[in-house]
Amino acid sequence: MKAPELTTLCYLEKDNKYLMMHRVKKENDINKDKYIGVGGHFEYGESPDECLMREVFEETGLTLTDYRARGIITFIYGEDVVEYMHLYTADGFEGEIGDCDEGELVWIDKDKVMDLDIWEGDKIFFDLLMKEQPYFSLKLVYSLEDELIDVRLDGHHI
């Protein structure tokens, strides 16, 4: 059995838009063709905040100046993938957006996000973000066919 993965996931906010990454550049990508936030895997010894700052800079070229932790997402995919994603939003940053080797970075109107090719469970946490839900724990279990088969919010089925 493989150890769980530890990651960060951040949605930068500006002018009522989210910065999204359209994952079109990597081969064998579980997120291929989907729109997701920016972030990635912890390096040894990093805190969630340190991972967040590094990954956002590496993927966007931006330095975060104001962000907040919004929740923890337990993402389970089939029998092999268990990932604990620390979810953040950020509305303070500086620098210029550069090229990303993992996907195309695009600003998307918040009211258009649900129309994108996103994971079904992402719609749940976007709804929680829009409602300003206090820090939450969301568990999303997917089949290998990308079907969302179990959802729990703060330990309760929804």
Q: Three-class SS of residue 118?
A: coil
Q: What is the mean pLDDT of residues 126-152?
A: 95
CB 34 within 8 Å of CB 123: no
Name the more confident of 146 and 69.
Answer: 69
Mean pLDDT over all residues of the chain? 93
Which range (27-41, 92-106, 111-125) has the least confidence? 27-41
Provide the pLDDT for residue 25.
Answer: 64
Is residue 3 pLDDT above 70, yes or no? yes
Q: What is the pLDDT of residues 76-87, one digit of tens each?
A: 998 889 999 999
Q: What is the mean pLDDT of residues 7-15?
A: 97
Is residue 100 pLDDT above 90, yes or no? no
* Tokens 């993965």 sit on residue: 5
Q: What is the C-alpha to C-alpha distance for residues 64 and 53, in angstroms, rounded to an integer?
A: 6
Q: What is the C-alpha to C-alpha distance for residues 158 and 150, in angstroms, rounded to an integer?
A: 9
Provide the pLDDT for residue 23.
Answer: 76
Q: What is the mean pLDDT of residues 82-102?
A: 94
Residue partners of 111: CB distance under 8 A and separation at least 6 = 16
Burial class (CB in 10 A: 0-12, 13-18, 19+), 133: middle
Q: What is the pLDDT of residues 47-76, one digit of tens each?
A: 999 999 999 999 999 999 999 999 999 999
What's the N-to-C CA distance of the chain in angstroms? 28
CA distances (Å), 101 to each of 27, 112, 141, in order?
11, 24, 28
